[in-house]
Structure 1
Amino acid sequence: MKINCGTDIIEVKRIKNAVEKWGKGFLKRIFTQQEIDYSLHRSFCFEHLSARFAAKEAVFKAFGTGFSSADFKNVEIVNDQRGRPYVILKGNMKFLFGKLFAEQLTISMSHTQSLAQAVAILVVKDV
């Protein structure tokens, strides 16, 4: 078994500035509708968006893929009924999960008013 770790940290003001500058276009390019709806209905919406952005980048790092070819919407960050975040992979990321013989993908996110961070752990089966 191999364990890949990805981590990311971002300043909340970077996401806030991007949303204020590019509006819905930015949101729809990076986030799924479910992620947008979840975050915008929270008191600290920019912190929630930032944590999801960091989680997506952490997932890409755990997979070892580059950001230039990444489709951020192929990594969706949702919460279970208890509030615990988990990842839904789509498209090329779902394909890559299978191609790597991955067994598990786990994330953890946290944020303050100024920073959001995330860690992704990808467990890959020895082949």
Structure 2
Amino acid sequence: MIIGVGTDIIEIARIEKAINNTNGFVEKLFTKKELELFKSKNMRAEVIAGNFAAKEAISKAIGTGVRSFSLKDIEVLRDELGKPIATLNENIIKILKVSSFKLNISISHNNTSAIAFAILEDM
């Protein structure tokens, strides 16, 4: 059964500006493994924007937005084929109040925007 659906879109230029003008922007919002992913992708703003949009979409699928947890509580990496895979930490799992769940996410971008969708299912 679907618990929630979320989507988010963000202008890549907004993320570029935050990266360049906000000290520690990526370190405040992303995990160490995500930072490693970004470095492996040459810190491309569209990759960072995609992950940011995914975290926001997931927070909307959970139904709380980012009120009850930090964006660092969500980790978005890629599998060997490049598919985005999200891991939720214990702070979020407590909020969900389900024993088993499945989280599907999709990330895409063009020259100006990044978009993500999240579908959260009770198993």
TM-score by length of 2: 0.90
Mapped to 2, the partners of 1:5 and 1:107 lie a distance apart of: 10
Structure 1 residues 21 and 44: alpha-carbon distance in aligned structure 2, compared to 1, 3 A threshold: closer
SS of the equivalent of 1:14 reads helix
In the TM superposition, what whole-angstrom CA distance separates every residue of 1:78-118 from its partner, at most 9, and x where no partner exists? 11111111101113112234x13452111000011210000
Match of 1:9 in 2: 9
Report if aligned partners of 1:4, 1:62 keep a CA contact under 8 Å in 2: yes
Q: Which runs of 5+ in 2 are unaligned?
A: none
Moved more, 5-14 or 101-110: 101-110
Mapped to 2, the partners of 1:8 and 1:123 lie a distance apart of: 18
Instruction: Indicate the RMSD between aligned Cα atoms, in angstroms.
Output: 1.7
Question: How many residues matched?
Answer: 123
Report if aligned partners of 1:102, 1:122 keep a CA contact under 8 Å in 2: no
SS of the equivalent of 2:35 reads helix
TM-score by length of 1: 0.87
Q: Which runs of 5+ in 1 are unaligned?
A: none
Match of 1:109 in 2: 107
Match of 1:20 in 2: 20
Mapped to 1, the partners of 2:98 and 2:41 lie a distance apart of: 36
